[in-house]
Chains A and B, each alone.
Chain A
Amino acid sequence: MSVKVEVSEGGVPHDRIMAIGIVGSLVAIYLTYLNVLTGTQIFSFFGGIGAVFAIWWGTDSIKTLCSYGIGTGVPSAGMISLGSGVIAMLLATKLGVAAPIGLVIIAAVLGVILGFLSDKVLNMNIPVMIRQLTELTIVGALILLGFASMATGSFAFIDMITGTTTFFGIEVATYSASLIGGSIIAVIFMLGGIAIQHPFNACLGPNESQDRTQMCAAECGFLSMIAVAVMSFAFLSVSAAMLGLLVAFIGWIYTYNEYIKLSKRDAYDWLDAKPIREPKGGA
């Protein structure tokens, strides 16, 4: 039996963050379906927004889990989140238009089993273990589906394994120039993993405050989204990919500035260090 070490005073309750995260993420991922309805690719960037919502929620889940001494460091929670999430996500993409909802159900079943194994079979005996591992599996799957749908403009499996390549000026359909066939999914996997394991690992400590940690999570999410937007140039039209890049960039600059402000607020003192200048006139 472990002792609960630390939890932020005040702030938004975890249940509300979870509700905002899951609804926001699902709505944003479903908005990419407008691509199919309207026949454009311009709505792809909503997938990235959905992934940012999921990262934002997952950071608070990691905080709730790691406030008990799990003994393995914060990044391990991010790794199991993405590791189990990718398995649930790839099966869910086979479900067509029901993919995001199906993903939540598949990931929840997988997460409950993994949580049960850690809590009961491995004798961790942490009260929140089953719930948080379930949440983290859903989060990992939502991040991957969000980024994947941002890169390809669709959350259907068939669109993730087919792509087009130009061969002597003629467009040819090919399996290797696709999200899965080109192993872009592995890059998305790591981008999501870094984004989810970093924020609490960076902000934890006696001076941890919830709004700063959550802002760091949003910042990391948008930073990963920039990289996904760059990769989406390979699959989307230039204007759609450009819009995604723009949204990600604006989001990142805004959250980064806010994060710096919150860090200054929480710091005891702040010195704007300047680069060392050479003395004028030479020595």
Chain B
Amino acid sequence: MSALGGAAAGGEGINPTASVIGIVILLVALGITFFIASTGGAIALIGIIIGGALIGFGVHFVPVGGAPAAMGQAPGIATGVAMLAAGAGLAGLFGGAWAAELGFAVALGAGAVGGGLMMAITCMMVNVIYVFGMGIPSASGKVDKDPITGDTFPEYKSQGTEGHGLPFISYVGGVIGGTLGGLGGTLIYVELLAVYEAALPVIYNAPLEEILPVAVSLAGIFAVGMFLVNAVLTAYNITGTIEGPHDPKFKRFPRAIIASAVASAVCGMVAIMVVAL
């Protein structure tokens, strides 16, 4: 979906030179973090990079329909990638943030379940509205057969559309995408929170209980910022709409992982510098 009806950009394949430059930027960011915040900062940054890559990968699973889906002319959820990823990822992030005190694994699990649950509810309500409100059956335009259930699509697909509704494979993709996004967002949050909890009491000479709100809020707003950056970069990679893991555009994910990892490395370095400088 293009806002102005222009041809969507974005060719296939990986640009090798640019990718190598990107990875060099990532390594430089890692090096600078190691230099200013020693091993602890560098390990936190590696966690942030993995979190960013998970978000970039996860967003590819989410069935994004955009404006055509709102008119029943394309399959997927009827909004843009950035909004959808933000909704699912932030739901996961809040879930994980709530569980942050209960330990690393519990927090990550809560984040993943939160994001997945958010997408599961969204996808179900979207289908309720499509089927019972708009009266359209679910049919994919990209494949003839659902890879999971084996349902066939062509006889249900209206002429002149790219498919409509939310087929089962897209539903599964949405839940996987929400789970990965929530996991990635929570990983970024937990790593940053650990850095701030260690550094802020020393810098401002205050007990941890008093300065904890600042650490939580800083880690939260940085995680939200990084989540949005990664989601929008991935949206640029998808260039508009995607049906889910069966869509041919899904094969573009390697370059989104590279871009998300580099962007997370740079943003994470800046976030760690706030307390390290």
Chain B residues with Cβ below 8 Å from A186 are 217, 220-221, 224
Residues of chain A whose beta carbon lies under 8 Å from any beta carbon of chain B:
1-6, 66-77, 79-80, 82-88, 90-91, 94, 106, 110, 113-114, 116-118, 120-126, 157, 161, 174-176, 178, 180-183, 185-186, 189, 201, 204
Chain B residues with Cβ below 8 Å from A182 are 213, 217
Chain A residues with Cβ below 8 Å from B10 are 71, 122-125
Known A5-B5, A72-B235; further 15 A-B contacts with Cβ < 8 A:
A2-B8, A69-B5, A71-B8, A71-B9, A71-B238, A73-B1, A79-B82, A87-B267, A113-B262, A114-B263, A121-B259, A122-B236, A123-B13, A175-B206, A189-B221
Chain B residues with Cβ below 8 Å from A4 are 6
Task: List the 10 closest pairs (A to B, CB-CB), nearest first.
Answer: A69-B6, A83-B228, A120-B18, A71-B239, A71-B240, A71-B8, A2-B9, A76-B82, A80-B232, A5-B6
A116 touches B9 (CB 8 A): no
B267 touches A110 (CB 8 A): yes
The residue from B9, B11, B262 contacting A69, defined by CB atoms under 8 A apart? B9
B9 touches A125 (CB 8 A): yes
**B25 interface hit (Cβ, 8 Å):** yes
**B71 interface hit (Cβ, 8 Å):** no
* Interface majority SS (helix, strand, loop, mixed), chain B: helix
The interface on chain B, measured as residues whose beta carbon lies within 8 A of the other chain's beta carbons, has a size of 66
Contact residues of B between 201 and 216, Cβ < 8 Å to A: 204, 206, 210-211, 213-214
CB proximity of B217 to chain A, nearest CB, Å: 5
A118 touches B233 (CB 8 A): yes
Encoded as 1 (CB less than 8 Å from any A CB) or 0, chain B from 1 to 23 comes to 11111111111110101110110
B217 touches A91 (CB 8 A): no
**B102 interface hit (Cβ, 8 Å):** no
Name the residue in A71, A91, A174, A175 with the highest tally of chain B Cβ atoms < 10 Å from its Cβ: A71
CB proximity of A205 to chain B, nearest CB, Å: 8
A75 touches B80 (CB 8 A): yes
Known: A70-B239, A76-B82, A181-B214. A87 touches B226 (CB 8 A): yes
Could you write out 30 A-B pairs with CB less than 8 Å apart? A1-B9, A3-B7, A6-B4, A66-B4, A70-B9, A71-B2, A71-B240, A72-B232, A73-B1, A73-B66, A75-B80, A76-B80, A76-B82, A80-B228, A80-B233, A83-B228, A83-B232, A86-B221, A114-B233, A116-B22, A122-B259, A123-B255, A125-B9, A125-B11, A157-B274, A161-B211, A175-B210, A181-B214, A186-B221, A186-B224
